Chains A and B, each alone.
Chain A
Amino acid sequence: GENVEQHPSTLSVQEGDSAVIKCTYSDSASNYFPWYKQELGKRPQLIIDIRSNVGEKKDQRIAVTLNKTAKHFSLHITETQPEDSAVYFCAASRSGTYKYIFGTGTRLKVLA
């Protein structure tokens, strides 16, 4: 079945350093890849997304890259801040289905 693998499961970085989270998907028909941030006890919030017709997208300190051939995509956070500490989930979806398959999550800790 459809599967999304996410690594690492936990990540600790010093404030100001960069953080990279990687995901691999199995369904080659997936063409929409959102990233969500979830703080403890709260709902997931979309932070950035990318469609399969582009290879990279950037929004201030956050960027996502997509390699369709290898079926993997990555989240890059630069100049990390303590408020970036949260759990991050990647997801893969086929356009028009609205069904998301989530990765296993990465707990990011930014150390002050």
Chain B
Amino acid sequence: GAVVSQHPSRVICKSGTSVKIECRSLDFQATTMFWYRQFPKQSLMLMATSNEGSKATYEQGVEKDKFLINHASLTLSTLTVTSAHPEDSSFYICSASEGAGTVPRRVYTEAFFGQGTRLTVV
């Protein structure tokens, strides 16, 4: 199947600093990628939809100024957690589908997930 690579896999940062997480589709192009947050023993909560060449679409309750998303190319989306606080500590995971970005557009396609990033803010 398609490969989505996420980097870094683990990061520890100090309160007040910013952290950037990268999500890359390695063997396909994706005009749309998704960012999720997962707390321990909980589900994947969709944070935002990353759109190549345009602004991200954020889910209700997610602060767009806190979680900056940039989708500068068809294979790369980045999530920057700005002014991180301990409550931002979590597992962040991205996904992308091959269908998004293909011509003609394929509508039923599997979402492939990155390996996730465990963020710890101290």
Contacts and interface: CB of A to CB of B under 8 A. Distances in A.
Interface of A: 1, 6, 32, 34, 41-46, 49, 51, 89, 95-96, 98-105, 107
A44 B116 CA distance: 10
Contacts of A104: 42-43
A111 B105 CA distance: 44
B113 A99 contact: no
Do most interface residues of chain A lie in helix, strand or loop, or is the interface mixed? loop
Given A43-B114, A44-B93, A98-B32, 18 more contacts: A32-B108, A43-B93, A43-B113, A43-B116, A45-B113, A46-B110, A89-B44, A95-B107, A96-B99, A98-B100, A98-B109, A98-B111, A99-B46, A99-B49, A101-B46, A104-B43, A105-B41, A105-B42
Given A49-B110, A98-B99, A105-B43, A42 B105 contact: no
Give the size range of B's interface with the partner. 20 to 34
Contacts of A32: 108
Contacts of B60: 1
B34 interface: yes
Contacts, number: 57
Interface of B: 1, 32, 34, 36, 41-46, 49, 60, 93, 95, 97, 99-100, 105, 107-111, 113-116
B110 A34 contact: yes
11 contacts: A43-B115, A43-B116, A44-B113, A46-B110, A89-B43, A99-B49, A100-B46, A101-B46, A102-B43, A104-B43, A105-B42
